[in-house]
């Protein structure tokens, strides 16, 4: 499906771009089928958050921590020791406890990533404050819907994208989906975050495959309008966390900065320092000192090869470009429900 949607002649090493000349009818057919796959994933209900294990021929259950693509990438190329992930046998019975675990991972990533990943002492402080406040919001149950705190939780796959969708000989018909290693039960807010999936709902309801109260389009629209979409994106995309937090999450929960001399998002962390306790401020300065002491030696938590470093830089660049595009689009025009349909 990726090849079918991509602009012809787009270099393999470049991020794919939707073919501007693609037939609209063909595009709608492919998107509506993919929407139905998302709907099918969102229907089963599970009591805990985590990875699925097969119990017997007909039964699956949540038995271990989620294996997410973000966790994998942080360990593989982000310098995060695997020991800093949640315990292998840990599962989560509330959305807020899982969001706090993800917040902790982002803090550990800042601590253990390469020391030259921060541009200055203040850049280190800005990143530290963002991660601490995100965890504070998670602990206060402000990042998820209290009514959905204890589930039921839904199946989610981090790697469900066109490159893993196979087409049949008929180029407008999906034959199947591959690469399910990053599938797990997640907070329902993950399923409620766009992309839009209202196409196909009416047909599924008419066929008795979907109930009216299982529609995703309404909650997805609300997620975009409220900004919940950005929370889920920040929690699951560590390499894009800072851009999202300071542009979309911090203003929502803590309001605009009052001091115009703080240079926008670059200096907003200074006004948020009062939200950290003395222990947090001391921890921040110790981290800054440790980063700067190791700057000359460029000490790493492991010794990556040139390929790994190149992939790491490429991933950061791609995530930044993706977030900047979404931010620009969200500022230019807030979509209406009709427009997204």
Q: What is the DSSP string of 154-203?
A: EEEETT-SGGGEEE-SSTTSEEEE---TTEEEE-HHHHHSSSP--TTHHH
Q: Directed axis angle between helix 69-77 and helix 306-332, to 10°?
A: 140
Alpha-carbon distance of 110 to 106, in angstroms, equals 6
How high is the pLDDT of residue 49?
Answer: 97
How high is the pLDDT of residue 263?
Answer: 59
How high is the pLDDT of residue 303?
Answer: 45
E-strand stretches of 221-307: none
User: Are 37 and 191 in contact, with CB atoms under 8 Å apart?
Assistant: no
- Give residues with Cβ within 8 angstroms of 212, minimum separation 6: 205
How high is the pLDDT of residue 256?
Answer: 85
Which backbone phi and psi does 239 adopt, to 5 degrees? -75, -10
How high is the pLDDT of residue 281?
Answer: 93
Alpha-carbon distance of 175 to 20, in angstroms, equals 24
The SS3 of residue 64 is strand
Identify the CATH assignment for 1-297 out of 1.10.3470, 3.90.1200, 3.30.70, 3.90.470: 3.90.1200
The SS3 of residue 52 is strand
How high is the pLDDT of residue 63?
Answer: 94
Which backbone phi and psi does 61 adopt, to 5 degrees? -145, 160
How high is the pLDDT of residue 337?
Answer: 43
Decide the pairing of beta strands 59-64 and 51-56: antiparallel
User: Which stretches of the chain score pLDDT less than 70?
Assistant: 115-116, 195-201, 203-204, 207, 209, 259-265, 294-316, 318-320, 322-324, 326-327, 329-341
Predicted structure pTM score: 0.80
């Amino acid at each position: 499906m990726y090849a079918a949607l991509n602009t012809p002649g787009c270099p393999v090493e470049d991020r794919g771009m939707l073919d501007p000349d693609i037939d609209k009818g063909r595009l709608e057919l492919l998107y509506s089928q993919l929407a139905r796959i998302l709907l099918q994933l969102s229907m089963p209900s599970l009591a805990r958050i985590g990875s699925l294990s097969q119990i017997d021929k007909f039964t699956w259950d949540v038995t271990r921590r989620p294996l997410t693509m973000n966790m994998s990438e942080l360990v593989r190329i982000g310098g995060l020791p695997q020991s800093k992930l949640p315990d292998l046998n840990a599962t989560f019975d509330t959305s807020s406890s899982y969001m706090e675990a993800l917040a902790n991972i982002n803090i550990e990533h800042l601590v253990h990533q390469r020391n030259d990943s921060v541009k200055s002492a203040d850049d280190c402080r800005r990143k530290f404050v963002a991660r601490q406040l995100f965890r504070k919001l998670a602990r206060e149950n402000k990042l998820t819907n209290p009514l959905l705190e204890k589930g039921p939780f839904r199946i989610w796959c981090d790697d469900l994208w066109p490159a893993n969708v196979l087409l049949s000989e008929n180029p407008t018909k999906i034959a199947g989906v591959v690469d399910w290693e990053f599938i797990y039960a997640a907070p329902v807010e993950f399923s409620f975050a766009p992309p839009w999936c209202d196409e196909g709902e009416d047909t599924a309801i008419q066929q008795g495959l979907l109930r009216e109260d299982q529609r995703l389009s309404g909650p997805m629209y609300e997620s975009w309008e409220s900004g919940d979409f950005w929370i889920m994106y920040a929690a699951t995309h560590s390499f894009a966390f800072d851009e999202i937090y300071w542009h979309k999450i911090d203003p929502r929960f803590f309001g605009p900065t009052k001091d115009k001399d703080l240079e926008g998002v670059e200096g907003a962390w200074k006004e948020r320092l009062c939200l950290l306790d003395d222990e947090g401020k001391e921890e921040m300065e110790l981290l800054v000192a440790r980063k700067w002491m190791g700057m000359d030696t460029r000490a790493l938590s492991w010794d990556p090869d040139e390929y790994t470093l190149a992939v790491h830089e490429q991933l950061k660049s791609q995530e930044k470009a993706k977030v900047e595009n979404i931010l620009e689009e969200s500022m230019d025009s807030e979509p209406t429900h009709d427009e997204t349909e």
